A = this chain, B = another copy of it.
């Protein structure tokens, strides 16, 4: 849609119409008493709106179509007649299926012993997938960056542990790929490749990871609106990989004074995103709140909002963890989360369409 200035001339309107036609679209001109509005009919993706915004007499030029058509529920229904949500399969685990899925494990893999002990704990607590960070994104270069910082050999060894722990406890494993150069290595060991929140905008990394053909756990950046989040998920889909698990993990707190949580967990994004795309979405209450004492409540809330699963940081002794100690829960606490969340899921699913 192109909105003209009130004093736009006939020539300026005609010029815009001509330009629209150049791009193969139809221009429907609506003349009001005060202002003329030009509707675009056709494939808006062909239109460089910033070009039109720069034409004389134009007040505003904006699209009404979405930029994530490959993962759009509405497009899938319209063009392919598909209205079911997508289920992403990892071995026998189904994300987006009839049961909520729990991904759990340490923030960072610190040693084989630590990892195996936690893996055993989360398995017993009812988790389906094991997480463990090897390449850790950190705000300070002076903080522990994960075992991956110890060189490729150390990284590969840690990946081996992850893979072994997964086999031993029958848990598919997920770990973050932080940079392009890590893609090949991580893809050899992990069942799901994670793109962290900080890398959501890194389109080269997205493309590289997508090409591996493995399921991608894709986290929303803390500065991204929903539209932007989905537009970047589209980069993965554009490589032909639609096994994308979206993950809400909190956005930047806004407001005067302290917020008391590390981020603002945007749970309404869960059902809002489910209206927009057929992809499954899970929630990470650990990073989303940054507070161990809020994990139980926010896990319940996330599942009640309709999330297909949770991603939770777990440690047998949270205070000992090298990273994120204040947001870890114990395997016992995880057990409570899993059992209550399952019951909430059953309650709410019955009512939801």
Contacts and interface: CB of A to CB of B under 8 A. Distances in A.
Interface stretch (A98-106, A124-132, A139-147): A139-147
A294 B268 contact: yes
A292 interface: yes
Contacts of A6: 74-75, 77-78
Interface in A170-205: 178-182, 198-199, 201-205
Contact of A201 (B137, B267, B324): B137
A235 B141 contact: yes
A300 interface: yes
A272 interface: yes
Interface stretch (A85-93, A114-122, A150-158, A225-233): A225-233
A318 interface: yes
Nearest to A31: B41
B323 A224 contact: no
Contacts of A198: 201-202
A303 interface: yes
A176 to B, nearest CB: 12
Nearest to A36: B41
Nearest to A203: B137
A343 B7 CA distance: 35
A22 interface: no
Interface stretch (A159-167, A211-219, A325-333): A325-333
Contact of A50 (B41, B199, B323): B323
A5 interface: yes
Interface in A4-27: 5-7
Interface residues of A, number: 125
A151 to B, nearest CB: 13
- Report how many copies the assembly holds: 4
Contacts of A201: 137, 198-199
Contacts of A34: 65, 78
A343 B180 CA distance: 45
Given A41-B31, A251-B255, A139 B325 contact: no
Interface centre among A30, A289, A323 (most CB of B within 10 A): A30
A224 to B, nearest CB: 5
A229 B260 CA distance: 12
Contact of A305 (B228, B298, B321, B351): B298
A288 interface: yes
A32 B41 contact: yes
Contacts of A37: 1, 39, 64
A249 B116 CA distance: 43
B226 A223 contact: no
A39 B38 CA distance: 9
A31 B145 CA distance: 31
Given A225-B259, A256-B224, A344-B344, A272 B294 contact: yes
A194 B191 CA distance: 34
29 contacts: A1-B1, A30-B39, A48-B144, A48-B323, A48-B325, A51-B319, A53-B325, A54-B292, A67-B142, A139-B231, A139-B232, A140-B231, A142-B234, A179-B204, A180-B180, A182-B204, A223-B256, A225-B258, A227-B260, A228-B257, A251-B264, A254-B254, A260-B272, A260-B273, A260-B275, A267-B298, A272-B289, A300-B304, A300-B344
